Amino acid sequence: MAFKELDIVLVRALQTSTRPVDGSELVRRQPRVGGRGIVVHVLGLKAYVVECVDEDGRTVWLADFHDDELALVQ
């Protein structure tokens, strides 16, 4: 499935258990299956940068995903 910027997505699978992530220092962690985020950049064919933020607006994780790992939240 093709996603576009600002789509809300659910992490439905992880191809690897760890990946490079960015985030706010005190809340940064690896993405987990079931986590939600927003597509902030389309990298190319079936690759996306997704950001998850907490209730205070701090970035929990910012990471690259393949479209097979994501599902659109309706």
Going from N- to C-terminal start, the domains of the chain cover 8-72
Q: What is the pLDDT of residues 4-44, one digit of tens each?
A: 999 999 999 999 989 999 999 999 999 999 999 999 999 98
What is the residue whose two structure tokens read 């902030």? 40
8-72 CATH pick, 1.10.1060, 1.25.40, 2.30.30, 3.10.450: 2.30.30
With H, G, I as helix, E, B as strand and everything else as coil, classify residue 15.
Answer: coil
Whole-prediction pTM: 0.94
Q: What does the alpha-carbon distance between residue 71 and residue 44 come to, in Å, rounded to a whole number?
A: 17
pLDDT bucket at 1, cuts 50 / 70 / 90? confident
Would the pLDDT of 63 be above 90?
A: yes
